[in-house]
Amino acid sequence: MSDIVISGLGLVTPFGHGVEPYWRGLVGGRSALAPARRFTAAPYRGEPVGEVPHGAPEPAGATRKGAYARAALEEALHAAGLARLPDGAVVLLVGQAPLPRPGEGRAEPTGDEREFMGPDPAEVLGAPPGPRYVHLSHACASAVFAVGYARELLRAGEAPVAAVVGSSVLNRYEYASMDVVRAVGRTAARPFDVERAGISLGEGGGAVVLESAAHARARGAAADLVVAGSACRVSGAKSAASDTDRVASCMRDALDDASVHGLDHVHAHATGTGQGDAAELAAVEAVAADCGARALPVSSHKGAIGHLLHISGAPAIAAAAGTLRSGIVAPTAGLATPEPTDRLVLPTAPMEVSGVRTAAVNSFGFGGNNASLVLLRR
């Protein structure tokens, strides 16, 4: 069975449009979190957020949510060497509840609702949407769930290419939902820091293009980044994304699926909450012990750009890909005093890792949505 590879990545983040400015910001330890310039909402009280800067990109007739997703997809296709999605391609749109389609009898959403729901397939894929598409929503693990689903579709021969696409825009509904559970920090997020005080919400878009290694090589495209293992689990016993045993089990299942017995890096879900980060660190410690690791580097992008909710897995994958291709683990922005660990390293500066070959990407969400990927560089 041919490997399934990531042949293209695209991002819109608070660092601007593109994977490259995002990676430079991460490696530089920069934070794009600051008080909002344009976002206003009843629950918002001036906390740092990760806003996409003006002009990166402008909606031009679409909602910002649609514009960010479209821009990310175009970059990912260009990186994959594709002028467009080929015939038979499948697109997995990730986000909140899908927008109503004509004839469904539901009321047309308002402007605020359109920045909460979607993204709109017509804005992302053209009107009417050309490629086949499905909409997935698994809370903050949605993008990684979608990558796992795309991998299975490609393995089954259901499509020549699959694209995972989504976006998140700061809006009053999601901000209120995080504020009411007291997850939002009043200062910028500091994942893994002993003084961490909560999440910072961000916005942006992400896209991941996947295909079989054989298909990519036949086109002359990059086939070095393999989605070697995937585990997507829904466990309803606990609603919060902070169950150590379930997180560890999900990571172990992804490693088993990849037939990999060691890790060189973990890009963590870590949002900056006290309970969530502690539970994930304990889980990664347990997995590191299984693997015999003694100084496993673990980092998170959420201190740099905030939590992009449903599409947060896309910048996580891009960060892990950057590490696998450069041998550098980006630090966690905002991390000043790391939690004590036994088998892990929590970098506060760029860290060179010789011979890095495998990386895990964690993505967890409310409702017991847990997902882990294992990426392998051939």
And the tokens for 265?
């890096």
The amino acid that residue 36 corresponds to is: A
Q: How far apart are CA 135 and CA 153, in angstroms?
A: 14
Over residues 257-287, the pLDDT tens digits come to 999 989 999 999 999 999 999 999 999 999 9
pLDDT of 178 > 70? The answer is: yes
Full DSSP string of 178-191: HHHTT-B-SS---T
**What is the signed CA dihedral for 210, 200, 23, 153, rounded to 10 degrees?**
0
Over residues 186-204, the pLDDT tens digits come to 999 999 999 999 999 999 9
Q: How far apart are CA 71 and CA 205, in angstroms?
A: 8
Question: Would you state the pLDDT for residue 128?
Answer: 77
Question: Would you state the pLDDT for residue 24?
Answer: 98
Scanning the chain, the segments in alpha helix (DSSP H) are 19-27, 64-79, 111-114, 121-125, 142-155, 172-180, 213-219, 244-258, 274-291, 302-305, 313-326
Question: Would you state the pLDDT for residue 236?
Answer: 62
pLDDT of 206 > 70? The answer is: yes
Q: What is the phi/psi pair of residue 158, to 5°?
A: -80, -15
pLDDT of 367 > 90? The answer is: no
pLDDT of 239 > 60? The answer is: no
Give residue for tokens 């490629």: 131
Question: Would you state the pLDDT for residue 110?
Answer: 72
Over residues 292-304, the pLDDT tens digits come to 999 999 999 999 9
DSSP summary character for residue 302: H
H-helix or E-strand containing 12?
strand 4-13
Question: Would you state the pLDDT for residue 166?
Answer: 97
pLDDT of 252 > 70? The answer is: yes
User: Closest Cα to residue 38, out of 14, 19, 54?
Assistant: 54
Q: How far apart are CA 4 and CA 136, in angstroms?
A: 20
Question: Would you state the pLDDT for residue 126?
Answer: 86
Comparison of pLDDT for 181 and 374, the residue scoring more: 374
Half-sphere exposure of 257 (CA within 13 A, CB side): 24
pLDDT of 104 > 70? The answer is: no
Q: How many CB atoms lie within 10 A of CB 97?
A: 12
Name the average pLDDT for the chain. Answer: 93
Over residues 307-324, the pLDDT tens digits come to 999 999 999 999 999 999
103: exposed, middle or buried (Cβ count in 10 Å: 0-12, 13-18, 19+): exposed
Question: Would you state the pLDDT for residue 238?
Answer: 58
Alpha-carbon dihedral sign for residues 51, 54, 57, 63: positive
Question: Would you state the pLDDT for residue 294?
Answer: 93
pLDDT of 39 > 80? The answer is: yes
Question: Would you state the pLDDT for residue 258?
Answer: 97
| SS3 state at 57 | coil
Tell me the average pLDDT across 163-180.
Answer: 94
pLDDT of 179 > 80? The answer is: yes
Rg (CA), the chain: 19
| SS3 state at 48 | strand
Comparison of pLDDT for 255 and 368, the residue scoring more: 255
pLDDT of 235 > 90? The answer is: no
Question: Would you state the pLDDT for residue 218?
Answer: 95
Do residues 118 and 175 touch, judged by C-beta distance below 8 A?
no
Question: Would you state the pLDDT for residue 56?
Answer: 75
pLDDT band of residue 57 (cuts 50, 70, 90) is confident
Over pLDDT 70: what percentage of the chain? 96
Tell me which of 45-49, 101-105, 138-142, 192-196 is least confident. Answer: 101-105
Tell me the average pLDDT across 89-108.
Answer: 80
Give the largest Cα separation in the chain, rounded: 58
Q: How far apart are CA 38 and CA 267, in angstroms?
A: 30
Q: How many CB atoms lie within 10 A of CB 111?
A: 8
Q: How far apart are CA 284 and CA 362, in angstroms?
A: 10
And the tokens for 295?
């100084």
pLDDT of 377 > 60? The answer is: yes
Question: Would you state the pLDDT for residue 106?
Answer: 66
